Copies of this chain bind each other. A is one copy, B any other.
């Protein structure tokens, strides 16, 4: 029989058990933290009607969509979780209670040409808060609190949440008479770190036709550094008569203050006037998060405030604020540079190893431990005892429970700690207590 070569598409992450266990641990931390902050789960289809997907995107992203037809319908795979959110909120507007605070953790698809660090299928872990007509700035402050808590719990070392408000730079640009080019300017500024100051300068002058003196002002401005207080002081003393600028500064000041009240430590949140976020739908607060370990490239989490989420689908004004963690890319980097590693490929805490054949007593022991909530695996195959131990070592289970004739007679279990090698003969109740107390 001719075999089909087992393979997957490039750009699709698939993990071996040990790594998958670790990945799922991260997913769980993110999910649990989102729920701790009162976000409710959302789960939208991966397949959407093409006109929904195409309603708000640029030509570049359009090309990346996996598009197909079925039964005469023009369909595609979702490329982010924001478009489905907008569609959902417009569709169930009358049944939702606002502010609608939801999280969605799911796979999205971008059919890019495969290249290192780029994925065609990847997890996004999104939270958004959507208001009906209006939404207070306290929500802009809560988002960094959630992200801070997630990254504290993920325990991947120091991290920094950068925060800015697009109205500030927009106000500056407005005062220079170039507000009509603001989206392009923000996109150029967003590339500062990637392409460097000189290239951005040329983009602003040559591509956008901004006067050289104005470009200097813009670049000098986004390079302002200092503590949060120093930056706010500097912004407040800035000699610009522009309402947009002033609103932006006030919003940023208030959001940063409230974020600290929400429990974000000062060291983890920093105003950075160069943060712009490329996407044109952001209108106020913007965020980016980086791990301070410089082996991890790029932002691991970004987002911001948008004035009107769903205007492609409804006349309702639905402002919102949210953020997205790109877990697949982060995880893949963590593994490839060795910051984390999978040290077990077992979820079981105990492996029951029958000395000979599987006995009723072994099965009952497993059942009793499971009823107590302990993850247990039974080695059921008729192998030599030595081979069973090899299996236990390979999967990295922390304890094995050896059960032979002697143990069965005594109704006891020989519990072996696989790390220390210690072995004790215990009754089942004692074993359960011992494992539960780890």
A residues contacting B by CB (< 8 A) are: 1, 3-9, 12, 14-17, 20-21, 23-24, 35-49, 51-52, 55, 66-68, 70-71, 73, 75, 77, 87-88, 90-92, 95-97, 99-102, 107, 109, 111, 113, 120-121, 131, 134-136, 138-139, 141-142, 145, 149, 258, 261-263, 310-315, 345-348, 351, 358, 360, 363-364, 366-368, 370-371, 373-378, 380-382, 391, 394-395
Contact = CB atoms under 8 A, between A and B. Distances in A.
Contacts of A17: 40-42, 96-97, 100, 102
B23 A381 contact: no
A365 B413 CA distance: 48
A402 B154 CA distance: 32
Given A4-B51, A15-B43, 14 more contacts: A3-B314, A6-B90, A7-B91, A16-B92, A17-B40, A20-B40, A20-B41, A21-B40, A38-B376, A41-B347, A47-B109, A47-B121, A139-B380, A262-B364
A346 B258 CA distance: 24
- The 6 closest A-B CB pairs, nearest first, are A38-B377, A68-B68, A263-B367, A38-B348, A138-B380, A6-B91
- Stoichiometry, copies per complex: 2
A354 to B, nearest CB: 9
A368 B44 CA distance: 32
Contacts of A7: 49, 52, 87, 91
A251 to B, nearest CB: 14
A111 B46 contact: no
Interface centre among A45, A67, A368, A376 (most CB of B within 10 A): A45
B37 A377 contact: yes
Nearest to A5: B313
Nearest to A390: B97
Given A23-B43, A47-B109, A312-B4, A370 B36 contact: yes
Given A66-B68, A258-B363, A6 B52 contact: yes
Contact of A6 (B39, B145, B314, B363): B314
Among A36, A77, A107, A360, the most chain B Cβ lie within 10 Å of the Cβ of: A36
Contacts of A92: 16
A131 B376 contact: no
Most buried by B among A38, A312, A395: A38
A71 B67 CA distance: 12
A39 to B, nearest CB: 7
A97 B1 contact: no
Contact of A313 (B6, B95, B380): B6
A377 B36 CA distance: 8
B376 A36 contact: yes
Contacts of A348: 38
A38 B375 contact: yes
Contacts of A100: 17
A57 to B, nearest CB: 12
Contacts of A39: 347
B363 A71 contact: no
A101 B377 CA distance: 9
Nearest to A381: B136
Contacts of A73: 9
Contacts of A358: 136, 138, 258
Contacts of A90: 6
Given A3-B314, A37-B370, A113 B71 contact: yes
Given A71-B111, A75-B9, A135 B381 contact: yes
A29 to B, nearest CB: 12
A412 B62 CA distance: 54
